[in-house]
A and B are shown apart, each in its own frame.
Chain A
Amino acid sequence: MKIDIQEHKGVKVFALSGEIDMASSPALRSELMALVGRKAPVVFVDFKDVSYIDSSGIATFVEGLKAMMPYGGRLKLLGVPAKIMEIFNFSKLDKVFEIYGNVEDAFKG
């Protein structure tokens, strides 16, 4: 997995690529929680180039979201591929996360 942290119109965007699994999710958690620790108001996570995610990857985003809620932060997921969306749906997390098609939609939402 590669993590490319970009800034788009003042919003931090995690552009992820490859496979998010038990081996790679600790690095992702570290980056995400560092940003959350600084109380980032909005964080986008671009899933467009993510080919695989396991339960440890999902847990990382749930942890990030739960840490952002107390200060009103928003974690927005973008470009989630169909197979990964199916996992969010099955886990009922599609109702918990804000999920958008692309970065423009995420800004509007």
Chain B
Amino acid sequence: MRLPKDSAVVTIPSHPKYLCVVREAAARMADMGGFDASSVEDIRLAVDEACSNVIKYAYGGDSGKQITVRFRNSAAGFEALIEDSGPRTDPACLKGRDLDEVRPGGLGMHFIRRTFDVVAFDEKKRNGNRLRLLKYRDRGHEDRHTGT
């Protein structure tokens, strides 16, 4: 399969010990896409959280499945498509806990939403889930990138 320009695909087993692989790939791709160091770290954490959610919720902790993450840099920004073969996820779960409520858990979605401008499941995917994460470039960067 030929990859689109400025893209990479990483497939990991659904075991937490492989999350370091996918988050490192996310950070490297964001860095190659020209994002600043702070945004790169935000992307590292947000992609990690999204994959952790797949392990916990889509696969119910089953480490014998797979997660595929497709990264792409474009003039628009940085995109990650996270695919699993678990049961359909209810989009309503894309909501974290109230930040004023102090209890363990419920922060991952906040970390994803604070980083990405678009957080949406692909409704057209028939089997499993495909979560689309997109972070737009700031206009200043895009102008520098394209020389406009």
Q: Which residues of A contact B (CB under 8 A)?
A: 19, 21-23, 52, 54-56, 58-60, 62-63, 66, 83, 87, 90-93, 96
Interface of A is mostly: helix
Q: Let me know if A55 and B49 touch, CB within 8 A.
A: yes
The answer to whether B19 and A66 have CB atoms under 8 Å apart is no
Q: Which of B20, B104, B107 contacts A19 (CB 8 A)?
A: B20
Contact A91 B107 (CB under 8 A): yes
Contact between B48 and A54, CB atoms less than 8 A apart = yes
How far, in angstroms, from A91 to B105 measured CA to CA in the complex? 11
A19-B20, A22-B19, A23-B16 in contact; A55/B52 too (CB < 8 A)?
Answer: yes
Complex contact A21–B16 (CB within 8 A): yes
List 6 A–B pairs whose Cβ atoms lie within 8 Å, in order of A's numbering: A21-B19, A21-B48, A55-B108, A59-B105, A60-B104, A66-B104
B103: contacting residue among A21, A52, A54, A62, CB under 8 A: A62
Scoring B19, B104, B108, B111 by chain A CB atoms within 10 A of each residue's CB, the highest score goes to: B104
- The chain B residues found within 8 Å of chain A, CB to CB, are 15-17, 19-20, 38, 41, 44-45, 48-49, 52, 55, 99-100, 102-108, 110-111, 114
Q: Is the CB of A21 within 8 A of B20?
A: yes
- Cβ–Cβ < 8 Å partners of A92 in chain B: 99-100
Which residues of chain A are within 8 angstroms of B104 by Cβ–Cβ distance?
Answer: 59-60, 62-63, 66
- Cβ distance B62 to chain A, nearest Cβ, rounded Å: 14
Assess whether B20 is in contact with A23, with CB atoms less than 8 Å apart. yes
* A21-B48, A55-B111, A58-B107 known; A96+B19 contact, CB < 8 A: no
Q: Which residue of B lies closest to A25 (CB)?
A: B16
Taken together as a complex, chains A and B put the C-alpha atoms of A92 and B96 apart, in Å, by 14
Contacts of A93 in B (CB 8 A): 102
| Contact indicator A87/B103 (Cβ below 8 Å) | no
Given contacts A54-B48, A55-B49, contact A23 B102 (CB under 8 A): no
How far apart sit A26 and B42, CA to CA, in the bound complex (Å)? 23
Closest to B100 in A: A92
B48 close to A91 (CB less than 8 A): no
What separation, in Å, do the CA atoms of A91 and B110 have in the docked complex? 8
Q: Write out the residue numbers on chain B whose beta carbons fall within 8 Å of the beta carbon of A52.
A: 44-45
Are A96 and B49 touching (Cβ within 8 A)? no
Sample of 14 further A-B pairs with CB below 8 A, known A54-B45, A54-B52, A55-B105 = A21-B16, A21-B20, A21-B48, A21-B52, A54-B49, A54-B111, A55-B52, A55-B108, A56-B52, A58-B107, A59-B104, A83-B41, A90-B110, A96-B102
